[in-house]
Chains A and B, each alone.
Chain A
Amino acid sequence: MSVDQEVNVGAVSKAPEAEKKRIQLSGSWIVFLVLLGAACILPFVTRNFQIFQFTLVIIYAIAIMGLNLLTGFNGQFSLGHSAFFAVGAYTAAILMDQYGVSFFWTLPAAGIVAFVFGFLFGLPALRLENIYLALATFSLAAVTPTMLKLTPFEHWTGGVQGIVLLKPDAPFGLPLNQDQWLYFYSLAVAVLLYFVARNIVKSRTGRAIQAIRDNPIAARAMGVNVAYYKTLIFGVSAFYTGVAGALSAVVVQFVAPDSFTVTLSVALLVGLVIGGVGWLPGAFIGGAFILFLPNIAEEFSKGLSGAVYGVILLLVIYVMPSGAGTLWHRATQYLSLRRK
């Protein structure tokens, strides 16, 4: 209640700027629709393997959005998101492989399992701050591949061998091939989850979450249940990442412990920073970055691809110190100034 009041006060004081804000808002709607239109045409003008790459970009973007909710909006660090990604991927894979569940239903299931996982992990994480939390989540990521290889679980996980899956065909006789169908499916899920995330951030819950990031003590003084929101957002973040994992399992048609190493967690964090911490659309830029940059780096030199990757990363961070988000904000600011 108190949070709402505070924001109301803020809105009143900003009233003269409301006009300008509406112009900006409609501007970003146009950008959104143009991009969505382009994204829908894309699979008809590119090759199948490129569609596959773009699908992966979307999947990474969903995972990065989840990480953004946790790190960008709530200020909790995580190097363990590869674990939630793996939980989602394995849930989907096991459901499809062992129980013949259709791929459509595996997504919510994977998301819910990952949510429970994330929520439970969020409880002990409450006691940890900043780098200590990063370290705890790092250990989660480090232990995941080993856990997946353990013999007691081998019946379900397939051990080191992993699980091979079949790609679903487009339903209702849609004239799409498998790659195109998976692309549109992932795109729809991503757009849906994007708006959910956007609404969470703008809601009362979102304000509480951001208040905790900015000043936990003040948030508590305002009556925000810090422990509840922190664990909740951990769960929601894991949900997003789990859904991404489930999609990746189907798109790649294979899950194995070696797919979900710490490297994946680090990649997601890189994508988050590049896209812009606390800016949701940046997830798509971050997703494209982590998928395509290694390929670009490899073009320069095989042996030094790691080093080239590092140099490009440094340059990008130098040009946009706080990710693509600030670049976007500056551009829109500049445009709205010129319009005056």
Chain B
Amino acid sequence: MARTRLRYPAFAALALAFAAAPALAQNAPGVTDAEIKIGNTNPYSGPASAYGTIGKTIAAYFNKVNDEGGINGRKINFISYDDGYSPPKTVEQVRKLVESDEVAFLFQTLGTPTNSAIHKYVNVKKVPHLFVATGATKWGQPKKFPWTMGWQPNYQSEGRIYAKYLLDNKPDGKIAVLYQNDDYGKDVLRGVKDGLGDKAESMIVAQASYEVSNPTVDAEVVQLKASGADVFINIATPKFAAQAIRKAGEIGWDALKIVNNVASSVGAVLKPAGLENAKGWYSTGYLKDYTDPAWKDDEGIKHFEAFMKKYYPDGDLNSSFTTYGYSAAQTLVHVLEQCGDDLSRENIMKQAANIKELELELALPGIKINTSEDDFFPIEQMQMMQFNGERWEFFGEVIEGKLG
């Protein structure tokens, strides 16, 4: 039906001029009848440049959308700048996007420190700051920061999911936690504690933290085992998570072992840790993994594969960053379609906070995106999975990690 409207652009314009002139004037800057300008920053250079794949995937996806006619007839003009993961550069680039390029809104700006630097600015300017690419919990504060929204499961939700699983399956467990000593590590740990509720005190028998500057976490793992715990939660980034998995295997720690989602990559974490050491570990996921043979005939994965071959042939199909970018872009397209012809900043934000039961092609079956005026956490469900020595196997129901 969007097509029919397009066939009579002159008529549509005339009708709008008469009937909806005020509404048209309210459209966000960067929105015309022909295009929507969207701003983004990604680290295409510098130490965190691996993440740049996400920005490139999103740009490729919008090319696909444009080739197919755009959204309600409007092409997407995706302007993505390099910030090198440096907060001052992010401020500069975002100000350029908002004040000079005059984008309608920001989408998937990447990184926790970088987004922190612009958090206040975008909220003062009332520019929608949608689906930021970081898992910190602070992006979901609709009262304090009504223009900023996260996307991926936040770290606290993930912690709650582990807590829920443990309460259901090992209620008398003695838990040892290893965590990275920064906002990310503390966020996950807080989720675990909140999820355990009253039992947190009695169940968590040991916790050890490490600094990113530490060469190894071997000593911490040995110390945690000595506490006599029979559950080990490994909240670490890839390098340290791999060390912990290897050490736990070497010292023969017989426990229910959980590694967090950021370190669940088979190639980057489990292989270096030794697949035999990683066998039996638990984790959570929310997106389909291209390398997983279980999804070989899956429609979504097939679409993704076709997209990558045509629009991003240099991209790595196996990387979780490409599936991530693809899914985030699809979420945004859904929101923009829902906006219809009212592309004011208010309505874009309103529709972003009004996603109901959206199932993404690459999300695990049963995982649905829901947002509301008070819920700025799009993905809050994850599924438990266990490593069988070759690949992750999902099991059980999708678990909800809702905050609050």
Contacts and interface: CB of A to CB of B under 8 A. Distances in A.
B225 interface: no
Contacts of A252: 87-88, 91, 117
The 4 closest A-B pairs by CB, nearest first: A49-B95, A49-B99, A254-B117, A258-B113
Interface of A: 47-50, 52-53, 56, 146, 149-151, 159-162, 164, 248, 252-254, 256-259, 261, 263, 291, 294-295, 298, 302-303, 305-306, 309
B116 A162 contact: yes
A288 to B, nearest CB: 13
Given A56-B92, A146-B211, A146-B213, A49 B116 contact: no
A151 B91 contact: no
B160 interface: no
Contacts of B88: 56, 248, 252, 254, 259
Contacts of B45: 294, 305-306, 309
A161 B86 CA distance: 13
A340 B121 CA distance: 57
Contact of B99 (A48, A258, A259, A309): A48
A245 B106 CA distance: 28
Contacts of B119: 164
Interface in B65-81: 80-81
A295 B98 CA distance: 16
Contacts of B113: 160, 162, 256-259
B182 A149 contact: yes
Contact of B117 (A159, A160, A256, A305): A256
A202 B112 CA distance: 47
B100 A50 contact: yes
B62 to A, nearest CB: 15
B82 interface: yes
- The prevalent SS among residues of B at the interface is helix
Contacts of A306: 45
Given A252-B87, A253-B120, A256-B116, A298 B181 contact: no
Interface string B156-198: 0000000000000000000000000111000000000000000
Contact of B121 (A47, A56, A253, A258): A253
Contacts of A47: 99-100
Interface in B234-263: none
Contacts of B181: 149, 151
Interface in B203-247: 211-213
Given A49-B95, A305-B44, A161 B87 contact: no
A309 B100 CA distance: 23
Contacts of B84: 263, 294
A160 B182 contact: yes
A159 B84 CA distance: 20
A151 B46 CA distance: 26
A291 to B, nearest CB: 8
12 contacts: A49-B92, A52-B91, A56-B88, A146-B213, A149-B211, A160-B182, A252-B88, A258-B114, A259-B88, A294-B82, A298-B81, A303-B56
Given A49-B95, A259-B87, A298 B44 contact: yes
B64 interface: no
B96 A49 contact: yes
Nearest to B180: A160
Contact of A263 (B46, B120, B212): B46
A54 B181 CA distance: 37
B85 interface: yes
Contacts of A253: 91, 117, 120-121
B79 to A, nearest CB: 11
A254 B99 contact: no
A53 B112 contact: no
B99 A263 contact: no
Contact of B86 (A164, A263, A303): A263
A160 B81 CA distance: 23
Contact of A162 (B52, B87, B92, B211): B87
A191 to B, nearest CB: 23
Interface in B33-60: 44-47, 52, 56
A254 B91 contact: yes
A49 B213 contact: no
Contacts of A161: 116, 183
A258 B87 contact: yes
Contacts of A49: 92, 95-96, 98-100
A53 B92 contact: yes
Interface string B313-357: 000000000000000000000000000000000000000000000
A147 to B, nearest CB: 9
Interface string B2-29: 0000000000000000000000000000
Contacts of B95: 48-49, 52
A307 to B, nearest CB: 9
Contacts of B92: 49, 52-53, 56, 291
A263 B86 CA distance: 10
